[in-house]
Structures are given as C-alpha cells and as structure tokens.
C-alpha cells in the first residue's frame, strides 16, 4: 500500500562515500509524502564538496509517483549544473516501469544492477 493511501511516509534514504562517489540508497515509496525528506537529505549532499559521481540505489523503491519522478529530475539538473555524473542503480521492477512509462528512461544513466553502476565510478 502506498504512503498516499496510508497518509504516512514509508520512505528512507541513507548516504555514504564509495571512492569518488556519493552513494544514496533509497528505500520505500518515493512519492509526494517522501519528497520533502528526500529533498532535505539531498540538500545536505549538495553542501558537501563536489564528487564526480552520485549513484542513487533504487532497488528498494516500492512505489514512485509523479512527484518522486519530478524530484529525480531536480537531482539530475543539479548534478548537471555541478558537473557530477548521476547514475541510477538497481533500476528494476517499479522504477524500470515508471521510467519507461514516463519516457524518462533515456534521460538518466540507468543500470539494472547497482553494482554495475558503482563499478562505473572506478573508471
């Protein structure tokens, strides 16, 4: 059941460093209720020294609405402005479907396997 149905956010995000990349792991519903938390978390990341890569691990996303997709586009634009390469890893199931349906699949650098995305940061 989406957080929209329950009125509570089921979203969590954590971040860490992996070599020259910031890795953020998103978990749960990326929807209108989660966007403020995601935006706040990303605000702290934007305050860090610029890294060449930002990898978003989306394998644990269970739902994504238009507000969630819109926020991912904001992250993409911010990365482009900073010269950071954004990669979406673990894009399967829900996220693969949403990116396909919205026509945004090719707007992002997408990897079905998170480890494949992370390996790209070592090159």
pLDDT tens sequence across 54-78 = 999 999 999 999 999 999 999 999 9
Supply the pTM of this predicted model: 0.92
Contact present, 11 and 27 (Cβ < 8 Å): yes
Locate 33 and state its tokens: 């209720």
Query: Dihedral of CA 116/117/122/123: which sign?
Result: positive
pLDDT of residue 6: 55
Measured CA to CA, the distance from residue 123 to residue 114 in angstroms comes to 16
- CATH number for the region 3-120 comes to 3.30.750.24
């Amino acid at each position: 059941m989406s957080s929209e149905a329950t009125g509570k956010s089921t979203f969590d995000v954590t971040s860490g460093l992996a070599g020259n990349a910031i890795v953020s792991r998103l978990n749960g519903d990326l929807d209108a209720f989660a966007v403020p938390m995601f935006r706040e978390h990303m605000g702290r990341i934007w305050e860090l020294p610029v890294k060449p890569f930002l990898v978003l691990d989306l394998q644990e996303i269970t739902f994504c609405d238009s507000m969630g997709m819109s926020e991912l586009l904001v992250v993409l634009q911010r990365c482009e402005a900073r010269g950071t390469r954004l990669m979406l890893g673990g894009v399967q199931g829900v996220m693969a479907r949403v990116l396909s349906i919205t026509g945004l699949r090719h707007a992002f650098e997408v990897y079905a396997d998170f480890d494949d995305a992370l390996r790209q940061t070592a090159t």
